[in-house]
Structure 1
Amino acid sequence: MVSYLTIKKEVEKGKIAPVYFMYGLQSFLMEDIIQAIIRQQVGSSDDPNVITYNVQETLIDLVIEEAETVPFFGGNKVVIAKDCLFVTSAKQDTKLDHNLKVLEQYLENPVPETVLIICAPYEKLDERKKLTKRLKKQTVVDCSPFDLKMTEQWLEEQVKAKGVSFVGQAKERLVERVGIQLLQLSSEIEKLTLYVGEQGEITEGVVDLLVARSLEQDVFALIEYAVTRRVDRALIIYHDLLKLKEEPLKILALIARQIRIYYQVKEMLKKSFSQGEIASQLKLHPYVVKLASKQIRRFTEGFLLQMLEAIADVDYAIKTGKMDKVLAVELLLMKFSEDG
């Protein structure tokens, strides 16, 4: 199996396979490769030789019939089969009776003028199925969420393709601000490249100027300011979130989640777990673990447990009506500053 980034480069060079099997939860990556194939084969997704089916609504038999049909006015054709649930063990929510042998036979002898794309936007495949095994012998595109290394490599490829570059810690700052959503990262890169212009440089300052922080990033900064005795800055962020109609209890829950991550990461690092192992066990993105690993150096386990206890007390006080929710979170941030 070849990586998404390698497949993308091959497609852009005009090296097109007759059949692609795409699976994984990152639909953005799937669509990115599909559009790259369409550009190479027919030029535009509006071309009549680009045909898309949802196999929850259309028999795979008809999809293959289309793939075997001669393209309009000659040339090439792209046939896309979406939501191919039949490669998983999940029960299909459809009454369609797919003749999967037709697809298996097509895989043995695909039509040269047609690119057939089989899409399975699911986390797990049923590897026991004969069809799944056959599809995995085609050109396979793993559209699972990226690890940290691939995310950073993907970002570099994106800006390079647009003729600009990251400078200093700008790439890291962008991920801190946006998180790990590739679609949103792609949108922000468009904005940043337009701002700096061709051959321009994306700096940390440019990222700070143009890219708004996510709610999670605001909470991250809020905790950072509170525990480093800059409670005034923490309260500014808190009240900005309130102006954006964020609920104090939601903010409190996110603070608790972040502190819990700090505590778990600290405990696992102490037991010599690698950052990759921690990310896997806690089901976190490696970049989240990397950031947490930097922050926890200033905290003791005892302090983190005190913070969690204080959060639980505030949560109880709010839900039992003993404290006003806005004031309760304010006082909690002040307490963090005093204890930090």
Structure 2
Amino acid sequence: MIFDLWKQIKAKKFSSLYLLYGPEAFLINETKQLLINHLLNEEEIDFNLSTYDLEETPIDAALEDAETFPFMGEKRLIFLQNPVFLTAVKTKEKVEHNLAKLEAYIKEPSPYSIVVFTAPYEKLDERKKVTKELKRSAAILEAKKLSEAELMAWIKDRSALNGVEIDDKAAETLLTLAGTNLFTLTSEVDKLALYIGSGSKINEETVEMLVARSLEQNIFSLIDKIVNRQVEGALRIYYDLLKQNEEPIKILSLITGQFRLIYQVKELARRGYGQQQIAGHLKIHPFRIKLAAGQARLFADEELAHIINLLAEADYQMKTGGMNKVILIEMFLFRLHDQAYKK
């Protein structure tokens, strides 16, 4: 996993070439910062750290820098951003790149420079010679969105880096409360570790006490109350959101989005799609699909259709100024209780 690469960097076992690619910006940024912190001291950064945007600068200029002897240090660190020539994307490039020179450099990289390609692209073009050569020679980080199992492993590894443990239930609760964003998860794990102290174990109670619930998580909890016919609990969460200065129109939009997701998951599951397939089809993280699938099982089709109609009506009233925005969501919750769930 990513932590294996990070451990090598921390042990100062560097590669001459790195290829960091994928849409998960957090992983790329963390790796870049680790390289800076463990390769260069503060005095060397001004002299031996360079960054080139390859959409603006030809590769030749960057390679000349890589072949320049470092000043006041042993190594130069060079970041090459946006190497679009590694992809199949057709663009009107502002600059021309001498890819033959790059291929030659990849075969014989400078012994006193570390060159890092940062490519925020979902896919690279594996048919291109330069891509093949780079993937063959470089240390690679595929910065992809992590699956639920990988996120659980991530949380445990991050906890270990902080000198603490976290049990499975606590990690799962953290995912549910904080979501799947790695920036948020890292911040929360670091906070939990600081609270319990080195050598301790993070449990579910500590997570529930300390982890801030995101707006999306509060909406999920609100919907969970609705699903379980607990309108009083739903209203309590709604009023808490209003106290936090959340706009009713935003709350309504998130509720609507979640119920649409529940409906889509239910329909696609009926067609025989698995949860991973649904996640790929809807371009939504599998963990959210798993949670929505659990909620979908508690609704009949006609109930979901009724709820979506109520939400559409509330949205129309809210946008046309027909009623007080705060009251509209209250009415939605009461109507849902009185009409949709009366047997």
Match of 2:78 in 1: 79
Q: Number of residue pairs matched?
A: 338
Taking the aligned partners of 2:296 and 2:43, their CA distance within structure 1 comes to 49
> How is 1:1-340 mapped onto 2 (pairs within 5 angstroms)?
3-43=1-41, 47=45, 48-73=47-72, 75-90=74-89, 95-138=94-137, 139-338=139-338, 339-340=340-341
- Cα displacement string for residues 242-273 of structure 1 (whole angstroms, at most 9, x for unaligned residues): 23332222211211111111122223333443
Taking the aligned partners of 1:45 and 1:230, their CA distance within structure 2 comes to 60
Q: Cα 1:93–1:183, aligned 2, differ >3 Å: closer, same or farther?
A: farther
Partner of 2:23, secondary structure, is coil
Partner of 1:198, secondary structure, is coil
Calculate the TM-score normalised by the size of structure 1. 0.90
Taking the aligned partners of 1:166 and 1:71, their CA distance within structure 2 comes to 43
Taking the aligned partners of 2:185 and 2:227, their CA distance within structure 1 comes to 29
Q: Which stretch of structure 1 is more off in the superposition, 110-119 or 11-20?
A: 11-20
Taking the aligned partners of 1:113 and 1:227, their CA distance within structure 2 comes to 61
Calculate the TM-score normalised by the size of structure 2. 0.89
Counterpart contact for 1:159–1:193, Cα < 8 Å: yes
Q: Cα 1:71–1:320, aligned 2, differ >3 Å: closer, same or farther?
A: closer
Deviation at 1:31, TM superposition (A): 1.9
Deviation at 1:215, TM superposition (A): 1.2
Counterpart contact for 1:174–1:207, Cα < 8 Å: yes
Counterpart contact for 2:16–2:113, Cα < 8 Å: yes
Q: Which stretch of structure 1 is more off in the superposition, 22-31 or 80-89?
A: 80-89
Taking the aligned partners of 2:206 and 2:39, their CA distance within structure 1 comes to 37
Q: Which stretch of structure 1 is more off in the superposition, 34-43 or 250-259?
A: 34-43
Taking the aligned partners of 1:6 and 1:129, their CA distance within structure 2 comes to 28
Deviation at 1:63, TM superposition (A): 1.3
Taking the aligned partners of 1:106 and 1:178, their CA distance within structure 2 comes to 44
> What are structure 1's unaligned runs of at least 5 residues?
none
Taking the aligned partners of 2:336 and 2:228, their CA distance within structure 1 comes to 9
Q: Which amino acid aligns with 2:34?
A: A
Taking the aligned partners of 2:91 and 2:272, their CA distance within structure 1 comes to 44
Q: Which amino acid aligns with 2:97?
A: H
Taking the aligned partners of 2:231 and 2:168, their CA distance within structure 1 comes to 29
Counterpart contact for 1:80–1:118, Cα < 8 Å: yes
- Cα displacement string for residues 278-312 of structure 1 (whole angstroms, at most 9, x for unaligned residues): 21112110110121222233222221221111111
Partner of 2:176, secondary structure, is helix
Q: Which amino acid aligns with 1:217?
A: Q
Counterpart contact for 2:227–2:295, Cα < 8 Å: no
Counterpart contact for 2:56–2:94, Cα < 8 Å: no
Deviation at 1:44, TM superposition (A): 5.6
Deviation at 1:322, TM superposition (A): 3.1
Counterpart contact for 1:56–1:93, Cα < 8 Å: no
Counterpart contact for 2:48–2:73, Cα < 8 Å: no
Deviation at 1:212, TM superposition (A): 1.4
Counterpart contact for 1:38–1:45, Cα < 8 Å: no
Counterpart contact for 2:227–2:298, Cα < 8 Å: no
Counterpart contact for 1:80–1:117, Cα < 8 Å: yes
Partner of 1:80, secondary structure, is strand
**RMSD of aligned alpha carbons:** 2.3
Taking the aligned partners of 2:43 and 2:174, their CA distance within structure 1 comes to 31
Partner of 2:297, secondary structure, is helix
User: What percentage of aligned pairs have identical amino acids?
Assistant: 39
Q: Which stretch of structure 1 is more off in the superposition, 197-206 or 153-162?
A: 197-206
> What are structure 2's unaligned runs of at least 5 residues?
none
Taking the aligned partners of 1:209 and 1:93, their CA distance within structure 2 comes to 52
Taking the aligned partners of 2:299 and 2:199, their CA distance within structure 1 comes to 42
